Chains A and B, each alone.
Chain A
Amino acid sequence: DGGITQSPKYLFRKEGQNVTLSCEQNLNHDAMYWYRQDPGQGLRLIYYSQIVNDFQKGDIAEGYSVSREKKESFPLTVTSAQKNPTAFYLCASSTGGRSDEQYFGPGTRLTVT
Protein backbone atom coordinates (compact mmCIF):
# COMPACT_ATOMS: atom_id res chain seq x y z
CA ASP A 1 0.00 0.00 0.00
CA GLY A 2 1.16 3.56 -0.67
CA GLY A 3 1.83 5.81 2.26
CA ILE A 4 4.24 7.33 4.72
CA THR A 5 5.88 5.34 7.45
CA GLN A 6 7.60 6.62 10.53
CA SER A 7 9.50 4.47 12.92
CA PRO A 8 9.53 3.82 15.73
CA LYS A 9 6.17 4.89 17.17
CA TYR A 10 7.74 5.60 20.56
CA LEU A 11 11.39 6.46 21.21
CA PHE A 12 13.20 7.04 24.47
CA ARG A 13 16.65 8.61 24.79
CA LYS A 14 18.93 10.00 27.43
CA GLU A 15 19.72 13.69 27.47
CA GLY A 16 22.84 14.54 25.49
CA GLN A 17 22.37 11.81 22.88
CA ASN A 18 21.62 12.46 19.24
CA VAL A 19 18.70 10.50 17.85
CA THR A 20 17.52 9.98 14.26
CA LEU A 21 13.86 9.62 13.35
CA SER A 22 12.96 7.72 10.22
CA CYS A 23 10.50 8.84 7.53
CA GLU A 24 9.90 6.87 4.35
CA GLN A 25 7.30 7.38 1.60
CA ASN A 26 6.42 5.32 -1.45
CA LEU A 27 4.05 7.88 -2.96
CA ASN A 28 6.68 9.17 -5.39
CA HIS A 29 6.31 12.61 -3.83
CA ASP A 30 8.98 15.24 -4.44
CA ALA A 31 8.41 17.29 -1.28
CA MET A 32 8.81 16.12 2.32
CA TYR A 33 8.38 17.91 5.64
CA TRP A 34 9.10 17.52 9.34
CA TYR A 35 6.85 19.05 11.97
CA ARG A 36 6.97 19.11 15.73
CA GLN A 37 3.89 19.10 17.95
CA ASP A 38 3.84 19.85 21.67
CA PRO A 39 0.88 18.90 23.90
CA GLY A 40 -2.23 20.93 23.11
CA GLN A 41 -0.45 22.88 20.38
CA GLY A 42 -0.56 23.02 16.62
CA LEU A 43 2.23 21.78 14.36
CA ARG A 44 5.41 23.76 13.78
CA LEU A 45 7.62 23.26 10.76
CA ILE A 46 11.20 22.12 11.42
CA TYR A 47 12.63 21.42 7.95
CA TYR A 48 11.32 20.78 4.48
CA SER A 49 12.72 19.47 1.23
CA GLN A 50 11.26 20.11 -2.20
CA ILE A 51 13.68 17.92 -4.10
CA VAL A 52 16.43 15.39 -3.51
CA ASN A 53 19.69 16.81 -2.13
CA ASP A 54 18.03 20.07 -1.18
CA PHE A 55 16.30 21.20 2.01
CA GLN A 56 15.40 24.41 3.83
CA LYS A 57 14.94 25.40 7.44
CA GLY A 58 11.46 25.89 8.77
CA ASP A 59 10.38 27.96 11.76
CA ILE A 60 12.16 25.95 14.47
CA ALA A 61 15.22 24.33 12.84
CA GLU A 62 17.70 25.00 15.66
CA GLY A 63 18.97 21.78 17.21
CA TYR A 64 17.80 19.63 14.29
CA SER A 65 19.41 18.36 11.10
CA VAL A 66 18.10 16.52 8.04
CA SER A 67 19.31 14.86 4.86
CA ARG A 68 17.58 14.06 1.58
CA GLU A 69 19.80 11.62 -0.28
CA LYS A 70 16.89 9.64 -1.70
CA LYS A 71 13.46 10.73 -2.86
CA GLU A 72 11.76 8.23 -0.58
CA SER A 73 13.60 9.10 2.63
CA PHE A 74 13.89 12.22 4.80
CA PRO A 75 15.45 11.35 8.18
CA LEU A 76 15.47 13.88 11.01
CA THR A 77 18.26 14.00 13.59
CA VAL A 78 17.47 15.56 16.93
CA THR A 79 20.81 16.73 18.28
CA SER A 80 21.92 17.36 21.82
CA ALA A 81 21.71 21.08 21.02
CA GLN A 82 17.91 20.92 20.97
CA LYS A 83 16.87 22.30 24.36
CA ASN A 84 13.46 20.65 24.63
CA PRO A 85 13.45 17.60 22.37
CA THR A 86 10.56 15.75 23.99
CA ALA A 87 7.65 16.07 21.54
CA PHE A 88 5.52 14.36 18.92
CA TYR A 89 7.28 14.45 15.53
CA LEU A 90 5.31 14.25 12.29
CA CYS A 91 6.61 13.69 8.79
CA ALA A 92 4.62 14.62 5.68
CA SER A 93 5.01 14.50 1.93
CA SER A 94 3.35 16.07 -1.08
CA THR A 95 3.77 16.26 -4.83
CA GLY A 96 5.02 19.82 -4.39
CA GLY A 97 2.44 21.31 -6.67
CA ARG A 98 0.88 24.66 -6.01
CA SER A 99 -2.33 23.48 -4.41
CA ASP A 100 -1.77 19.86 -3.49
CA GLU A 101 -2.36 18.42 -0.05
CA GLN A 102 0.19 16.99 2.35
CA TYR A 103 -0.03 13.39 3.54
CA PHE A 104 1.13 12.75 7.08
CA GLY A 105 2.75 9.77 8.70
CA PRO A 106 1.59 8.31 12.04
CA GLY A 107 4.23 10.22 14.01
CA THR A 108 7.02 9.37 16.44
CA ARG A 109 6.68 10.31 20.09
CA LEU A 110 10.17 11.11 21.41
CA THR A 111 10.86 11.28 25.13
CA VAL A 112 14.23 12.50 26.35
CA THR A 113 15.09 12.19 30.04
Chain B
Amino acid sequence: DAKTTQPTSMDCAEGRAANLPCNHSTISGNEYVYWYRQIHSQGPQYIIHGLKNNETNEMASLIITEDRKSSTLILPHATLRDTAVYYCIVRTINAGNMLTFGGGTRLMVKP
Protein backbone atom coordinates (compact mmCIF):
# COMPACT_ATOMS: atom_id res chain seq x y z
CA ASP B 1 0.00 0.00 0.00
CA ALA B 2 1.17 3.50 -0.78
CA LYS B 3 2.10 5.37 2.39
CA THR B 4 1.56 9.05 2.96
CA THR B 5 3.70 11.59 4.75
CA GLN B 6 2.21 14.73 6.28
CA PRO B 7 3.56 17.41 8.62
CA THR B 8 2.54 16.75 12.19
CA SER B 9 1.05 20.18 12.74
CA MET B 10 0.39 23.53 11.06
CA ASP B 11 -1.01 26.90 12.03
CA CYS B 12 -3.13 29.19 9.89
CA ALA B 13 -4.60 32.62 10.47
CA GLU B 14 -8.37 32.89 10.33
CA GLY B 15 -9.56 34.06 6.91
CA ARG B 16 -6.37 33.03 5.16
CA ALA B 17 -5.90 30.01 2.93
CA ALA B 18 -4.69 26.84 4.61
CA ASN B 19 -2.44 24.70 2.40
CA LEU B 20 -1.89 21.20 3.71
CA PRO B 21 0.76 19.12 1.90
CA CYS B 22 0.95 15.37 1.52
CA ASN B 23 3.62 13.17 -0.01
CA HIS B 24 2.65 9.82 -1.53
CA SER B 25 5.64 8.97 -3.68
CA THR B 26 4.80 5.24 -3.97
CA ILE B 27 1.24 5.73 -5.16
CA SER B 28 0.08 3.35 -7.86
CA GLY B 29 -1.49 4.52 -11.09
CA ASN B 30 -5.01 3.47 -10.14
CA GLU B 31 -5.00 4.64 -6.52
CA TYR B 32 -7.01 7.66 -5.45
CA VAL B 33 -5.96 10.36 -2.99
CA TYR B 34 -8.53 11.07 -0.29
CA TRP B 35 -8.71 13.75 2.36
CA TYR B 36 -10.67 13.45 5.59
CA ARG B 37 -10.67 15.57 8.70
CA GLN B 38 -11.50 14.79 12.30
CA ILE B 39 -12.62 17.34 14.81
CA HIS B 40 -11.81 16.35 18.36
CA SER B 41 -13.82 13.35 19.64
CA GLN B 42 -15.95 13.14 16.51
CA GLY B 43 -16.00 10.75 13.57
CA PRO B 44 -13.89 11.67 10.53
CA GLN B 45 -15.54 13.76 7.83
CA TYR B 46 -14.93 13.27 4.12
CA ILE B 47 -13.55 16.35 2.38
CA ILE B 48 -12.51 15.54 -1.17
CA HIS B 49 -10.76 12.97 -3.34
CA GLY B 50 -9.04 12.80 -6.72
CA LEU B 51 -7.14 10.56 -9.08
CA LYS B 52 -5.15 12.74 -11.48
CA ASN B 53 -6.95 16.01 -12.04
CA ASN B 54 -7.34 18.85 -9.58
CA GLU B 55 -10.67 18.81 -7.83
CA THR B 56 -12.79 21.44 -6.10
CA ASN B 57 -15.94 21.26 -4.02
CA GLU B 58 -17.73 23.47 -1.53
CA MET B 59 -15.26 22.59 1.22
CA ALA B 60 -11.84 22.59 -0.40
CA SER B 61 -9.61 22.20 -3.44
CA LEU B 62 -7.25 19.32 -4.11
CA ILE B 63 -4.14 19.92 -6.19
CA ILE B 64 -2.33 16.76 -7.35
CA THR B 65 1.10 17.07 -8.97
CA GLU B 66 1.52 15.78 -12.48
CA ASP B 67 3.65 12.84 -11.31
CA ARG B 68 1.05 12.16 -8.58
CA LYS B 69 3.73 11.85 -5.93
CA SER B 70 2.31 14.64 -3.82
CA SER B 71 -0.83 16.67 -3.30
CA THR B 72 -2.06 19.74 -1.46
CA LEU B 73 -5.40 20.31 0.21
CA ILE B 74 -6.44 23.94 0.14
CA LEU B 75 -9.03 25.46 2.46
CA PRO B 76 -9.50 28.85 0.76
CA HIS B 77 -10.72 30.87 3.75
CA ALA B 78 -9.98 29.02 6.97
CA THR B 79 -12.29 29.53 9.94
CA LEU B 80 -11.89 28.56 13.58
CA ARG B 81 -14.21 25.61 12.92
CA ASP B 82 -11.66 24.20 10.48
CA THR B 83 -9.35 23.40 13.39
CA ALA B 84 -9.00 19.62 13.16
CA VAL B 85 -6.69 16.76 12.25
CA TYR B 86 -6.50 16.35 8.47
CA TYR B 87 -5.75 12.93 7.03
CA CYS B 88 -4.34 12.33 3.58
CA ILE B 89 -5.11 8.76 2.52
CA VAL B 90 -4.33 6.66 -0.51
CA ARG B 91 -7.01 4.11 -1.30
CA THR B 92 -6.11 0.46 -0.82
CA ILE B 93 -7.28 -1.45 -3.85
CA ASN B 94 -6.57 -5.05 -2.96
CA ALA B 95 -9.32 -5.42 -0.35
CA GLY B 96 -12.44 -3.53 -1.18
CA ASN B 97 -12.22 0.17 -0.58
CA MET B 98 -10.64 0.35 2.85
CA LEU B 99 -8.97 3.50 4.09
CA THR B 100 -5.59 3.37 5.83
CA PHE B 101 -5.21 6.31 8.20
CA GLY B 102 -1.81 7.70 9.15
CA GLY B 103 -1.09 10.30 11.81
CA GLY B 104 -2.49 13.27 9.88
CA THR B 105 -1.77 16.99 10.23
CA ARG B 106 -3.15 18.88 13.19
CA LEU B 107 -4.31 22.23 11.77
CA MET B 108 -4.81 25.04 14.25
CA VAL B 109 -6.68 28.05 12.89
CA LYS B 110 -5.94 31.10 15.01
CA PRO B 111 -7.89 34.37 15.30
B interface residues, Cβ below 8 angstroms from A:
32, 34, 41-46, 49, 51, 87, 91, 95-104
**In the complex the two chains form, is A50's CB within 8 Å of B96's CB?**
yes
State whether A43 touches B98 (Cβ < 8 A). no
Contact A31 B43 (CB under 8 A): no
Known: A43-B44, A45-B99. 9 other contacts (CB 8 A): A43-B99, A48-B95, A58-B98, A92-B43, A92-B44, A97-B97, A101-B34, A102-B44, A107-B42
Q: Which residues of B contact A106 (CB under 8 A)?
A: 42-43
A40 → chain B closest CB, angstroms: 8
Interface size on A, residues (CB 8 A): 30
Contact partners of A104 in chain B: CB under 8 A: 43-45
Taking the closest CB of chain B, its distance from the CB of A39, in whole angstroms, is 11
Looking at chain B's contact residues, is the secondary structure mostly helix, strand, loop, or mixed?
loop
Residue of B nearest to A41 (CB): B103
Bound form: Cα–Cα A23–B42 in Å: 15
A31: B residues at CB distance < 8 A = 96-97
- Is A45 in contact with B100, judged by CB distance below 8 angstroms? yes
* B87 CB, min distance to chain A CBs, angstroms: 7
Q: Which residues of A contact B46 (CB under 8 A)?
A: 101-103
Q: Smallest Cβ distance from A61 to chain B, in angstroms?
A: 13
